[in-house]
Structure 1
Amino acid sequence: MKPITFPRRLLAALILVPAVLLGACGGPATAPPPPVIAPPDTHELTKADLDAWLDGKLPDVLTHGKASGAVVTVVKDGEILTNRGYGYATRAENGRPATPVDPEATLFRWGSISKVPTSIAVLQLVEQGKLDLDADIATYLDFPLKKQHDEPITLRHLLTHTAGFEETSTMFVPALQKTALADYVRHNPPVSVYRPGTTPAYSNYGMTLAGYLVEQASGQPFHEYVKNHVLNPAGMTTASYDQPLSTQTLAVAYDPDGQSAPFEFIPDTPAGSLAGSGADAAAFLLAQLDRSPAILSAERWEEMWTPALGADTLGNLANSPRMGLGYFTGTRNGHRIVEHGGDLRYHHSQFELYPDDQVGIFISYVDDGGGSDAAATLRADLMAGFADRYFPTAAADTPPLEGSGARANQVAGTYFLSRSVITTWQSAWSGVTSVTIQALPNGNLLAQNREYVEIAPWTWQDPHADGFGSTLTARVVNGQVEAVGVGPAFTLLPLTSTQQALIPVFLASLATFTLVLLAWAVGALRRWRRDQRTAGLPWTARLARLGALSATAALLGWIGVGASALLGGNLELLGNIPLLRTIQVLQWAGVAAIIPAVFDIITVVKTRSAWRRPTMAALLLLALLATAWWAWAGHSLNPNLGV
């Protein structure tokens, strides 16, 4: 199963636009020919074979992926099979030699793998009777949550990413210092926009809230509780949620210019700040596969690895891979796996457990934060290659199902990702990048050159792939597709007509403003060249034109913030409150200019001005109205900036 986490620049795209999981807009009308599947080539999982395979694979990938160092750990049958370091932890500089990665001591930051010990801590307190998985968390919290639905949110929802929280900008704004957990969860929490338990939508805030409940129920600071009750009992002696970490043991990140990157503080500590060595990873894998009684009962371990929600709330989405309690569950080549991945800007990690085979694999590496394709696919390729080498399976043909064509036609459409901003300014860009699913004449579905064959009513599988994104499952209510599941914690939702209109209206408004401004400039230039003087414009026209300039500046401001964050990597702009407030003031000035623009139209009609004047006034009013609608529908006027 491919990791369900993304590099931070791609995650920033999730904030500004619903990021593409399956494909970009459009796509070919027909599917590409399927690849030739070679017969399985079985290798025995031994240290010698594994080390030879890793040594032949990792160094070249690290070089091309601009990754400076990595660690890979594999355990089998209760023992460490290999724990290998590649590359260096620090570069040679200032006369000091480079420090190679030491798998026993070099710390890598594990990102969202942090959520697994957090979830384990929750289950410990459930075993102790201090927390209840299915109780309304409002009974534990000392502050209110913002919700659009009346149903209670439970810990089960938090651990399965179904509490309904929208995405926020908070995690993408580089923090300069630690933030107290209580302050973080209380400060501007995201809105729960989906009905709890119904729509998987990956949420760092939700898991951070679970960590806060650990703190509340245990009476201990979160990092102390997890250290004493999860990490230490597992034998993870150097693993820690602390920030910052000692630079003497941390694998240092270097930016594309070769400069050491500053330490990246993670405000949502329970969701992303864990760091550890290869030795810590080995201990963690073994403790989980052993169902360590020092941490949880065997029954609780299995509960965490079992899909935690069913068709009663998920509907047909329950036929796709589902979340356990804090774990992603699924299969590789027919073998049950549970796993989690994690990304910061420079550090990337993933582990997979094969509980029935008593095998576990972990990788963590650090790159230049540039999001190169080689680095981004390193984990996926390693995990898939490991499964194909040691747990191979042959592809099986799936006969077509009756009625598949009609069902495919119903599912075909344009979607946005559930992990999106819904109520703040970033939601205005939900239509920039969307997921298009096409129906093929043979009843299959097509998304980003991947053809999906229906294996059960409303469930399609890519026969040439395994893991995350290889299954599409549609939930249909009253003949309408309500959602398409693409992974345990991600859902595709139909793009609404409003969302589809936002970008065309934005572009049309900007084009109209540009046309009107050019017309004014050309007219002024002509009058100047002819030495003509005109009567002064009425106050209504002056205010309307000032409003047009203000609205144009606001539109350009939103474009500038988005482009700089996405293309230039300036993620701090997403949290630059003075800048965003300035753009909002300009936007409000454009809205206010509608009033004088209306009066100006009335004035020019009454005075029977030449055609140019009323035409420009009408275009100006139209653009102001369209921009106001765009700002309202896209929440650009919302005083809540989501940070």
Structure 2
Amino acid sequence: MMGIRQRTLKQGLPMKGNRMKRRCITLLRGALLSILVSATQAPMAWSQPEAPAPQGGQPARALTQGDAEAWLDGLLPYAIQQGDIAGGVVSIVKDGQLLLAKGYGYADTDSRTPMAADTTLIRPGSISKLFVWTAVMQLVEQRRLDLDADINRYLDFHIPDYDGRPITMRNIVTHRSGFEDVLKDIMGRYPPQSLEHYVKTRLPPRIYAPGAVPAYSNYATALAAYVVERVSGQGFAAYAAQHILRPLGMDHSTFDQPVPEAWRPNLSQGYITASTAPGYYEYIGPSPAGALTSTATDLAKFMLAHLQLGRLADGRILTEESASAMHALQPKVFPALNGMATGFYETTRNGHRSIAHNGGTQFFHSDLHLLLDDGVGIFISLNSAGNDEAATRIHNALFNGFMDRYFPAAPMAPAYGPAVADAPPATVRDDAKALSGYWGLSERHTASWLSVADLLAPVAIHDNGDGSVSFSIPTRSTARWREIAPNLWRSDDMRDRMQVLPQDGRPALLGFDVAAPIAFLPVPWWRSPGWIMPGLVGALAVLLLHGLALPAGALARRVYGLENKPGAQWLDHRVPKLLSLALIAALAGYPVLLSVLSADFTYFSARTDGITYVLEGVTLLLLCGATGLAMLSTMAQWRRHSRAWRKAGALVLLAALALVWWVAIAFRLINFNLQY
């Protein structure tokens, strides 16, 4: 449910500290892309190749069972061993047939149970969403659902309009519903309450106009599945079983949580790394958005059905017209980049278009691509995140290597997408300057203290002064980008393109070829880490020095045998300094809590509500107390006509507290909102 990835960005998540950091960045700031690195479902990971994309001219290998198996056998066993991944499965389909399905490594490292493509059950995370969109299209086909109608028509509760504009199902299937991201109850150790309960109690704020900004949303997918339940009169797990799984012969697939008792011996364990103990069974809160359990061969059947426009053998899940409509591109937000179909995101490699989706839980990481024009599909799932973003790197190596081997680029054609003439506009230096600054992921939190992730993990674009910019994105080192057409940029390594949408003459929205379900927006000045972080560090240093003056003074008096001055009373001397130290400790509690939550996503739940309330309450009380006493002290310095350095010190302390107030309000550290 991570996906970007992966998204989001969301997957991945080799040392414990690094894993926590990546999870924070991806999920809380976003996919990330990441989309959202390791959440429970995320948009796609940044799926750029590990090496510069080839420029074409390589001869294509024939895609046969023997060649594909030899190639996979040369890639995956070594890759999963080096990445400290327990195991994985792959399936490839071609021309209406299963070409290859194979397991690698272990489903259980303790018992040495091997991964088997046809029997080992895996959790493909957000790939579950494709079944939601398929169900939606079935109801559209039956004229029981209108993609462009107000979504409230199908609900028994009301979602308010945004500036007079309602959400439609078309907004939802393209991840443009405008909802804030939701993490609470996205994953747990125990069975969740009903889908109805989830969508009614986790309704997030609307932060964008519907259709305007790509922002991957697990909640919106759950809402779509709830519409399926309302319209069909069946629970989603039962609906999917009757109308999708059974017609396709997917006999080892289910949306039930947990899986039936008889299936459990075949369920793969999930791991962070193969060297660690297996994880717990992950219950997905918005279950249709990520709760599918399946096998590689079952998912091959799903791929075949979509490649054959809704049909597999005697089973049909969509008419040809509905399947074609589902695979067709929806109107784009970024006209020059890859876009969204109905739920699938578009990718382009070597001039070949595919529609795809990936998915990840904390332990399982999966990817699915359909090359519609070539009649080919490929699926991979790994049961471990591995070390150093191993799962993401293996996914990239597999798909990009597969495309370069069997579907290479035409001579002189770039692998990442359509060729674009390298003709930078005359305004390139001004454009680079305008683009520089801090940007925030569209899949974000604005109403709760989790918005502090934007401050702790900023994304910055730097103007290099030569018409290029540098932009560091998750799971990649910093890349240099150059403008090749007005508002269209290409990375120097040929891995990606980004497009800028201006508003009132300024860059307002930024998108990437590899990340159709997400975007970036400029960070407003009042939340900019550029000045807030240095200022906050300085403010905390002032509070620390102020607080340490208390033990330092006591030590000096002891060493030099000095007596306390008559005016050195608790209220005007000791208490303010103690409050300064206590306030620093309280502020440190937020990144500590963030680390705890990121280490185990089941803590994004009511389990930590009490801790959050206490932390915010203590922070508010300490801020009020410290500020009040600091103001009294400052006024006293003026009344006593104290020396200039004493007055200056009092003002500096007040300024430090004012900045802490700014941060606390701007990043929602004391608003007591537990809906995140």
TM-score, normalised via structure 1 length: 0.89
Q: 1:570 to 1:518 in 2, by over 3 A?
A: farther
2:456: which partner in 1? 432
In structure 2, what is the equivalent of residue 239 of structure 1? 253
Q: Which residue of 2 aligns with 1:182?
A: 196
Distance of aligned partners of 1:439 and 1:22 in 2 relative to their CA distance in 1, 3 Å threshold: farther
Aligned: 1:380 with 2:396: yes
CA deviations 1:161-199 (Å, max 9, x no partner) are: 111112233256544322311111112322110111111
Matching residue of 1:524:
554
> Aligned partners of 2:110, 2:570: CA distance in 1, in Å?
69
What corresponds to 1:552 in structure 2?
Answer: 584
- Structure 1 runs not aligned, ≥5 long: 24-32
1:332-362 deviation per Cα after TM superposition (whole angstroms, max 9, x unaligned):
2111210100011110111100111111111
- Tell me the CA shift for residue 591 of structure 1: 3.0
Q: Which residue among 321, 330, 334 is the counterpart of 1:299?
A: 321
Match of 2:177 in 1: 163
Distance 1:362 1:143 in 2: 38
Shift of 1:587: 1.2
Which amino acid counterpart does residue 90 of structure 2 have in structure 1?
V
Q: Equivalent residue for 2:305?
A: 287
Q: Structure 1 residue 434: deviation in Å?
A: 2.8
Give the equivalent residue in structure 2 for 1:27. none
Give the match for residue 94 of structure 2.
76
Distance in 1 (alpha carbons) for counterparts of 2:658 and 2:573: 16
Aligned pair in 2 of structure 1 residues 382, 36: CA closer, same or farther (>3 Å)?
closer
C-alpha deviations, 1:194-217, integer Å up to 9, x for none? 111111011111111111111111
Distance 1:548 1:370, change over 3 A: farther
Match of 1:496 in 2: 524
Alignment of 1:90-101 (within 5 A): 90-93=108-111, 98-101=112-115
Residue of structure 2 in register with 1:196 after alignment: 210
1:331 — aligned with what?
Answer: 348
Q: In structure 2, how many angstroms separate the alpha carbons of the residues matched to 1:34 and 1:364?
A: 25
CA distance in 1, matches of 2:199, 2:620: 30
**Residue 308 (structure 1) aligned to one of 315, 330, 334:** 330
Unaligned runs of 5+ in 2: 14-21, 36-50, 414-418, 473-477
**Within 1, Cα distance between the matches of 2:199 and 2:494?**
38
Instruction: Tell whether 2:28 aligns with 1:12.
Output: no
Alignment of 1:136-155 (within 5 A): 136-145=150-159, 149-155=163-169
Cα distance per residue 1:376-408 (max 9 Å; x no partner): 211111000000000001444733244361434
1:562 is aligned to 2:594: yes
Q: Residue in 1 aligned with 2:416?
A: none
Higher RCO (C-alpha under 8 Å, 6+ residues apart): 1
Match of 2:17 in 1: none
Cα deviation digits, residues 97-126 of structure 1 (max 9, x gap) = x22112111111110001100011111112
- Between the aligned partners of 1:222 and 1:349, the Cα distance in structure 2 is 22
Q: CA deviation at 1:447?
A: 2.8
CA distance in 1, matches of 2:54, 2:129: 38
CA 1:585/1:128 → structure 2, altered by over 3 Å: closer, same or farther? same
How has the CA–CA distance of structure 1 residues 463 and 50 changed in structure 2, closer, same or farther, with 3 Å as cutoff?
farther
Aligned match for 2:61, one of 43, 67, 92: 43
Shift of 1:303: 1.7
Find out whether 1:459 has 2:459 as its counterpart.
Answer: no
1:400 and 2:412 aligned:
no
Contact 1:109 1:273 in 2 (8 A): yes
Say if 1:14 and 1:419, in contact at 8 Å, map to a contact too: no
**Secondary structure in structure 1 of the residue aligned to 2:86:** strand
1:142 match: secondary structure: coil
* Superposed displacement of residue 638, structure 1: 1.7
Q: Mean Cα displacement is larger for which, 607-616 or 431-440?
A: 607-616
8 Å contact kept, 1:401–1:456: yes
The equivalent of 1:224 in structure 2 is 238
Quote the residue 1:421 is aligned against: 445
Aligned equivalent of 1:604: 637
Structure 1 position 546, deviation (Å) = 5.1
Deviation per CA, 1:58-93, whole angstroms, max 9, x where unpaired? 100010111111111111110111011111222344
Change (3 A) 1:172 1:504: farther
Distance 1:2 1:516 in 2: 43
Higher mean C-alpha displacement, 55-64 vs 451-460: 451-460
1:260 counterpart = 2:289:
no
Q: Deviations over 1:309-347 (max 9, x none)?
A: 34xxx3xx2322111111101322111210100011110
**2:295 aligns with one of 277, 281, 288:** 277
Give the drift of 1:572: 4.6
Which residue in 1 is equivalent to 2:654?
Answer: 621
Identity %: 32
Query: How far apart, in 2, do the equivalents of 1:537 and 1:604 lie?
Result: 15
| RMSD (Å), alpha carbons | 2.7
Give me the whole-angstrom Cα distance separating, in 2, the residues matched to 1:46 and 1:36: 23
Q: Structure 2: how far apart are the matches of 1:184 and 1:22?
A: 22
Letter of the 1:640 partner, please give it.
N
* Aligned residue type for 2:422: P
Alpha-carbon spacing, 1:3–1:424, altered in 2? closer, same or farther (3 Å): closer
Q: Note the alpha carbon deviations across 1:122-145, whole angstroms, 9 max, x for none.
A: 111122222211111123222344
